[in-house]
Amino acid sequence: MNYFLTEEQEMIKDLAHQIAEEKFKPLRAELDDTAEFPWEVVKVLRESDMFGIYLPEEYGGLGGGVLELCLAVEELSRVCGGMALSLAATALAAFPILLSGSEEQKKRYLPDLASGKYLAGFALTEPDAGSDAGATKTTARKDGDNYILNGTKCFITNGSVADIVTVIAMTDKSRGSRGASAFIVEKGMDGFSVGKEEHKMGIRSSSTAELIFEDCKVPKENLISREGMGFIVAMKTLDQSRPGVAAQALGIAQGALDAAVDYARQRKQFDRPIITFQGLQWMLADMATRVEAARALVYSAARSADGGEKRVAKDSAMCKLFASDVAMSVTTDAVQILGGYGYMKEYPVEKMMRDAKITQIYEGTNQIQRDVIGTQLIRESASRK
């Protein structure tokens, strides 16, 4: 199917595919077992300029956008959704700076993010504040030329390996979500430490950690935008980043479909390849159709984000919702097609099924995505009257 990609976009897709096949695949099973962070892979991504594909040239990037990021994340996730997160999660944390940061902040941080010298994390979630960002308890108190942060963030992707973290904290609790502000916190700042590393069902080669702020001193220059803008910064960020989660889900689904087709062609029962049975062909046909529909929606939403479309919140929510549900259904079907072998770690589809589940949960559960879509539909209907 023709998605009208430019020559440069096709090159990004091909390069990411090559990296995934040559560098990700040999490490996939081992790192899933050991839950070790893929530093060897990060080095390759740095050398291939993958970390800069979505950032402007003036800050050391390659001048692409959300679509270019999605193309890379899709191909990397086709082999391993966990390893792909070293790139995707860094991009998530970079978006607050790119979208809402000052020129000084952009010049200071984006070049090192573009080169991959810095990895980054986005710290929004807390033990009691997931979908309800207004329930954030981490506080930031102005003290002279600094802000003093106190609180705990949890489930932060890249948490233990990040050089910088973009953090949402409350500067005025009385205002609810309108009292939130966004900050750039650097590794090594006084009072900032990493807590426990989470042991997860899937994406096990990705770092997911607790971050602790105990009278953490952050220079006032590291406030993103201005006080009270944290919730808006976070929502603008998620509008841009959710297509990336959708691309991760899409890649996982495509990888599972590929594995299922290859297995069905080789596996024989009743003296014939099982792919020749109509019931299985129809199953694969449905899987392939859902994957292709997800791809069309992801690419469309990415273009909407890059074009600054007003409908970006709805488009991003739709593609994240649909692609992650497709990833879960397709990986489950792939395990079924492989039968008993699909349930064993010797084959990659059981890992893909485990990896797919998180895409329905993080960066807003799929129930929250439906809320976002519904709210946008109400607004669109009201605007037509």
Q: Which residues are known to be catalytic?
A: 363
Residue 327: both structure tokens together:
């990833």
User: Degrees (nearest 5) of the Cα angle 216, 222, 224?
Assistant: 120
Q: Name every residue whose Cβ is closer than 8 Å to that of residue 315 and which is 6 or more positions away in sequence.
A: 300, 301, 304, 305, 309
Please give the C-alpha separations between residue 147 and each of 94, 98, 120, 325, 361, in angstroms, as whole numbers. Answer: 21, 22, 20, 41, 31
CB 85 within 8 A of CB 25: no
Q: Whats the size of the chain, residue-wise?
A: 385
CB 287 within 8 A of CB 325: no
HEC string of 255-305 equals HHHHHHHHHHHHCEECCEEHHHCHHHHHHHHHHHHHHHHHHHHHHHHHHHH
Task: Name residue 148's beta-bridge partners.
Answer: 141, 217
- Residue 76's region, left for phi above 0, alpha for psi from -120 to 50, else beta, is alpha
Q: What is d(CA 133, CA 125) in angstroms, rounded to the nearest whole number? A: 7
